[in-house]
Amino acid sequence: MSIQSQKSPVSELRVALTTSDYERIVKFYCDGLGIEPAAIWENGGGKALILNMGSATLELFDETQAETIDQLEAGKRVSGQIRFALQVPDLNAAMERLLAHGATLVHPPVTTPWGDYNVRLQDPDGMQITLFQVMEK
């Protein structure tokens, strides 16, 4: 069954990321990915924004599958319970931009057995991020 072929009872996935250094993480994701905020708000003395990140899916892995993906992308089990996976049109350009904005390279790019080009990074707060580029078949 195709992900696109059925009407989902959920119309949007939002991931809420809390940080102790708001300005740093906003700069990392906005400038590092080249994304303008879709919405910004302040209430109760706090700050928040929304970044549109394209279509969203939720991947559910058991420990064995998480180990397999970490081995492919990072050479060892390194990600926590949550890891971002972001599809980008040009992996090398996106990787360089994020590295210039504070990302840490966890493992150099690899070609996966299914033909994608992936790299594992870490954001300034330690969140594991996979950037992947779907390669022409």
Buried b (16+ CB within 10 A) or exposed e, 28-55: bbeebbeeeeeeeeeeeeeeeeebebee
Over residues 67-119, the pLDDT tens digits come to 999 999 999 999 999 999 999 999 999 999 999 999 999 999 999 999 999 99
In angstroms, the CA 132 to CA 91 distance is 6
Class of domain 12-133: alpha beta
Amino acid letter, 50 = I
Domain ranges across the chain: 12-133
Q: What is the pTM of this model?
A: 0.89
Q: Quick check: 4 pLDDT over 90?
A: no
Torsion angle of the four alpha carbons 125, 98, 76, 60, in this order, in degrees rounded to the nearest 10: 70
